Chain A
Amino acid sequence: EAAVTQSPRSKVAVTGGKVTLSCHQTNNHDYMYWYRQDTGHGLRLIHYSYVADSTEKGDIPDGYKASRPSQENFSLILELASLSQTAVYFCASSDAAFSGNTLYFGEGSRLIVV
């Protein structure tokens, strides 16, 4: 049974529209992350959170917001989607120091902005 689930798995959005990507984990982990994957760039950290109701900026936060309403849920929000945000987005959870920061990933959300 998947411990990190993402929705939607695929989405086509129009430029300037709002997009929300959702992530739910059943690992009971405190840490959650949003990465984007692009060909030639590997995975880059957008936002992360280590406690409910608090989020932190990662390496490429511009154009993205995050929300962590509970330990289990972590959302990524694109208020004004742009063509450059076409990518695959991955959510991950971790219990950080306890596991040497082993990350458990969801299956990804493919976003195409047109």
Chain B
Amino acid sequence: TQTVSQSDAHVTVFEGDSVELRCNYSYGGSIYLSWYIQHHGHGLQFLLKYYSGNPVVQGVNGFEAEFSKSDSSFHLRKASVHWSDSAVYFCAVSAGNYAQGLTFGLGTRVSVFP
């Protein structure tokens, strides 16, 4: 069974600041790791994913994430946030049986102030 933990429930930043959202997982085998964004009142939207290869993956809107097998982590970063980045961000893992969908973390709410 795979698990995902997001250590920060809420992060507050100012426009132009950088942000890093932490995600740690536990699973012994090969997995897909991904990040999703949820704006208030809407469904989740895919940001980026990692399975193998370059541990730094690029996503939409300037987001990137770095996989670390030694730390069991997949942290999301953005160099300069915009007010529109205010949302809840979910880390997710998918283990060997892809049919069973994703296991999500509890999410990190990001509030961006002008």
The residue among B32, B34, B44, B105 with the most chain A CB atoms within 10 A of its own CB is B44
The verdict on A42 contacting B43 (CB below 8 Å), with A48-B101, A50-B99, A100-B51 known, is no
Q: A97-B98, A101-B102 are known contacts; what are 5 more A-B pairs with Cβ within 8 Å?
A: A4-B43, A45-B103, A48-B100, A92-B101, A102-B46
Q: Compute how far the CA of A29 lies from the CA of B46 in the bound complex, rounded to whole angstroms.
A: 16
Chain A CB within 8 A of B25 CB = no
Chain A CB within 8 A of B19 CB = no
Tell me which residues from 30 to 69 in chain B have a Cβ below 8 Å from any Cβ of chain A: 32, 34, 36, 41-46, 49, 51
Measured between beta carbons, the chain B residues less than 8 angstroms from A74 are: none
What's the count of A-B pairs with C-beta under 8 Å? 66
Contact surface of A with B, Cβ cutoff 8 Å: 4, 31, 33, 35, 40-43, 45, 48, 50, 56, 58, 90, 92, 94, 96-97, 100-108
The residue among A41, A90, A100 with the most chain B CB atoms within 10 A of its own CB is A100
- Verify B34–A100 contact, CB threshold 8 A: yes
Q: How far is the CB of A55 from chain B (nearest CB, A)?
A: 12
30 pairs across A/B with beta carbons < 8 Å? A4-B43, A31-B98, A40-B106, A42-B90, A42-B104, A42-B105, A42-B106, A43-B44, A43-B104, A45-B100, A48-B99, A48-B100, A56-B99, A56-B100, A90-B44, A92-B43, A94-B98, A96-B98, A97-B98, A100-B32, A100-B34, A100-B94, A101-B101, A102-B34, A102-B49, A103-B36, A103-B101, A107-B43, A108-B42, A108-B43
Measured between beta carbons, the chain B residues less than 8 angstroms from A107 are: 42-43
How many positions in chain B have a CB within 8 Å of any CB in the partner chain? Answer: 23
Measured between beta carbons, the chain A residues less than 8 angstroms from B94 are: 100-101
The residue among A97, A102, A108 with the most chain B CB atoms within 10 A of its own CB is A102
Q: How far is the CB of A102 from chain B (nearest CB, A)?
A: 5
The verdict on A31 contacting B99 (CB below 8 Å), with A42-B90, A100-B94, A101-B32 known, is yes
Contact surface of B with A, Cβ cutoff 8 Å: 32, 34, 36, 41-46, 49, 51, 90, 94, 98-107
